[in-house]
Amino acid sequence: QVQLVESGGGSVRAGGSLKLSCVASGFNLENLAVGWFRQAPGKEREGVSCINKNGDYTYYADSVKGRYTISRSGSENTAYLQIDHLKREDTGVYYCATDLYLQSCTTSSFHFGTWGQGTQVIVSS
Protein backbone atom coordinates (compact mmCIF):
# COMPACT_ATOMS: atom_id res chain seq x y z
CA GLN A 1 0.00 0.00 0.00
CA VAL A 2 1.39 3.37 -1.06
CA GLN A 3 1.27 5.66 1.94
CA LEU A 4 2.75 8.83 3.47
CA VAL A 5 2.49 9.44 7.18
CA GLU A 6 3.36 12.78 8.76
CA SER A 7 4.26 13.35 12.38
CA GLY A 8 5.96 15.93 14.56
CA GLY A 9 3.30 18.57 14.79
CA GLY A 10 2.15 20.06 18.05
CA SER A 11 1.41 23.18 20.03
CA VAL A 12 4.37 25.47 20.54
CA ARG A 13 5.14 29.02 21.55
CA ALA A 14 6.17 31.58 18.98
CA GLY A 15 9.91 31.48 18.50
CA GLY A 16 10.11 27.75 19.06
CA SER A 17 10.96 24.96 16.64
CA LEU A 18 9.43 21.80 15.29
CA LYS A 19 10.66 19.07 12.99
CA LEU A 20 8.02 17.40 10.88
CA SER A 21 8.59 13.96 9.43
CA CYS A 22 7.03 12.29 6.42
CA VAL A 23 7.55 8.54 6.26
CA ALA A 24 6.80 6.71 3.03
CA SER A 25 5.75 3.09 2.82
CA GLY A 26 4.94 0.87 -0.10
CA PHE A 27 7.28 2.71 -2.45
CA ASN A 28 10.75 4.27 -2.65
CA LEU A 29 10.53 7.96 -1.81
CA GLU A 30 14.19 8.50 -2.66
CA ASN A 31 13.47 8.67 -6.41
CA LEU A 32 10.75 11.28 -6.16
CA ALA A 33 10.27 14.95 -5.42
CA VAL A 34 8.55 15.72 -2.13
CA GLY A 35 6.49 18.77 -1.29
CA TRP A 36 5.24 20.18 1.98
CA PHE A 37 1.95 22.05 1.98
CA ARG A 38 0.21 24.05 4.67
CA GLN A 39 -3.45 24.77 5.17
CA ALA A 40 -4.10 27.55 7.62
CA PRO A 41 -7.53 27.93 9.21
CA GLY A 42 -9.95 29.43 6.72
CA LYS A 43 -7.36 29.54 3.94
CA GLU A 44 -6.51 27.50 0.92
CA ARG A 45 -3.74 24.96 1.01
CA GLU A 46 -0.41 26.42 -0.10
CA GLY A 47 2.92 24.92 -1.02
CA VAL A 48 5.62 25.98 1.43
CA SER A 49 8.58 23.84 0.43
CA CYS A 50 9.75 21.19 -2.00
CA ILE A 51 12.83 19.07 -2.58
CA ASN A 52 13.64 17.38 -5.85
CA LYS A 53 14.58 13.78 -6.48
CA ASN A 54 18.31 14.30 -6.04
CA GLY A 55 18.03 16.68 -3.15
CA ASP A 56 20.11 19.30 -4.95
CA TYR A 57 17.22 21.69 -5.47
CA THR A 58 14.91 23.05 -2.83
CA TYR A 59 12.08 25.53 -2.98
CA TYR A 60 10.67 27.71 -0.21
CA ALA A 61 7.74 30.07 -0.26
CA ASP A 62 8.76 33.65 0.50
CA SER A 63 6.89 33.57 3.80
CA VAL A 64 9.05 30.77 5.15
CA LYS A 65 12.49 31.43 3.65
CA GLY A 66 15.21 31.43 6.26
CA ARG A 67 13.05 29.60 8.80
CA TYR A 68 12.10 26.33 7.10
CA THR A 69 14.53 23.65 5.99
CA ILE A 70 13.49 20.68 3.92
CA SER A 71 15.60 17.54 3.80
CA ARG A 72 15.34 13.86 3.07
CA SER A 73 16.86 10.55 4.10
CA GLY A 74 17.00 7.77 1.55
CA SER A 75 17.89 5.14 4.11
CA GLU A 76 14.87 6.07 6.23
CA ASN A 77 12.57 6.64 3.24
CA THR A 78 11.59 9.87 4.95
CA ALA A 79 11.39 13.58 4.23
CA TYR A 80 11.64 16.25 6.89
CA LEU A 81 10.62 19.84 7.41
CA GLN A 82 12.50 21.72 10.10
CA ILE A 83 10.63 24.83 11.21
CA ASP A 84 12.51 27.38 13.31
CA HIS A 85 11.52 30.75 14.74
CA LEU A 86 7.88 29.75 14.59
CA LYS A 87 5.31 32.49 14.08
CA ARG A 88 1.60 32.47 14.74
CA GLU A 89 0.99 32.57 11.01
CA ASP A 90 2.70 29.18 10.73
CA THR A 91 -0.37 27.66 12.37
CA GLY A 92 -2.10 25.10 10.19
CA VAL A 93 -2.20 21.51 9.04
CA TYR A 94 0.95 20.43 7.28
CA TYR A 95 0.84 17.81 4.57
CA CYS A 96 3.62 16.09 2.72
CA ALA A 97 2.99 14.94 -0.81
CA THR A 98 4.63 13.27 -3.74
CA ASP A 99 3.74 11.48 -6.90
CA LEU A 100 5.07 8.27 -8.39
CA TYR A 101 5.97 10.17 -11.58
CA LEU A 102 7.27 13.39 -10.01
CA GLN A 103 11.03 13.98 -9.91
CA SER A 104 11.21 17.77 -10.06
CA CYS A 105 9.67 20.34 -7.78
CA THR A 106 6.46 22.16 -8.57
CA THR A 107 4.34 24.47 -6.47
CA SER A 108 1.12 23.15 -7.96
CA SER A 109 -0.67 20.66 -5.75
CA PHE A 110 -2.25 19.31 -8.91
CA HIS A 111 0.94 17.39 -9.70
CA PHE A 112 1.03 15.57 -6.38
CA GLY A 113 -1.04 12.42 -6.35
CA THR A 114 -0.04 10.90 -3.03
CA TRP A 115 -0.73 12.78 0.20
CA GLY A 116 -0.34 12.16 3.87
CA GLN A 117 -3.11 12.70 6.39
CA GLY A 118 -1.54 15.86 7.77
CA THR A 119 -0.07 16.94 11.07
CA GLN A 120 -1.37 19.92 13.05
CA VAL A 121 0.88 22.80 14.06
CA ILE A 122 -0.46 25.41 16.47
CA VAL A 123 1.68 28.39 17.37
CA SER A 124 0.71 30.59 20.28
CA SER A 125 2.11 33.93 21.33
Q: In this predicted structure, what is the pLDDT of residue 5?
A: 98
How far is the C-alpha of 68 from the C-alpha of 83, rounded, in Å?
A: 5
The proportion of the chain whose per-residue pLDDT surpasses 70, expressed as a percent, equals: 100
pLDDT confidence of residue 122: 98
The CA distances from residue 40 to 45, 101, 122, in Å, are: 7, 28, 10
Partners of 58 in the beta sheet? 51
Number of Cα atoms under 13 Å in the Cβ half of residue 76: 10
Predicted local distance difference test score (pLDDT) of residue 64: 97
The mean per-residue pLDDT over the stretch 76-89 comes to 97
| Mean pLDDT score of the chain | 96
HSE, side-chain direction, 13 A CA sphere, residue 93? 12
The per-residue pLDDT for 107 is 82
For residue 120, pLDDT beyond 90: yes
pLDDT, one tens digit per residue, over 8-53 is: 999 999 999 999 999 999 999 999 999 999 999 999 999 999 999 9
